[in-house]
Amino acid sequence: MSSGELQGNHQLSERELQVIELVASGLKNEEISQRLDISKRTVDNHISNILTKTDTDNRVALVRWALQWGKVCLDDVNCCTLPQAEP
């Protein structure tokens, strides 16, 4: 099994997906904690768990993983828009 297959199969919680989205938007852990109304230590724990689950070593690798697996959308990159209904 390739590492990409392994990485894509991990189950992330809704909260972990929220944290990934905020990391991808460039927020620091303290800013993430304020945005989600949780402690910075909880954010640190979430990020540690996410890095383990995704087999990534740092935030940059995590964002690359999230883009690759369609977990985040950045500035209309990797975004799936629904077709507009015709009038």
Q: Over the stretch 56-84, which tens digit does the pLDDT of each residue have?
A: 999 999 999 998 888 887 766 566 554 55
Q: Is the pLDDT of residue 24 over 90?
A: yes
Provide the CA 26 distance to its chain's centre, in angstroms: 11
What span, in angstroms and rounded, lies between the C-alpha atoms of 76 and 78? 6
pTM for the whole thing? Answer: 0.76
- What pLDDT does residue 6 have? 39
The pLDDT, as a whole number, for residue 69 is 87
Share of the chain above pLDDT 90, in %: 62
Residue 2, classed as helix, strand or coil, is coil
CB proximity list for 62: less than 8 A, separation 6 or greater? 20, 23, 47, 50, 51, 54, 56
C-alpha 53/C-alpha 57 separation (Å) is 11
CB atoms closer than 10 angstroms to residue 39: 10
Task: Name the CATH architecture for the domain at 3-68.
Answer: Orthogonal Bundle (1.10)
Residue 41 has pLDDT above 50, yes or no: yes
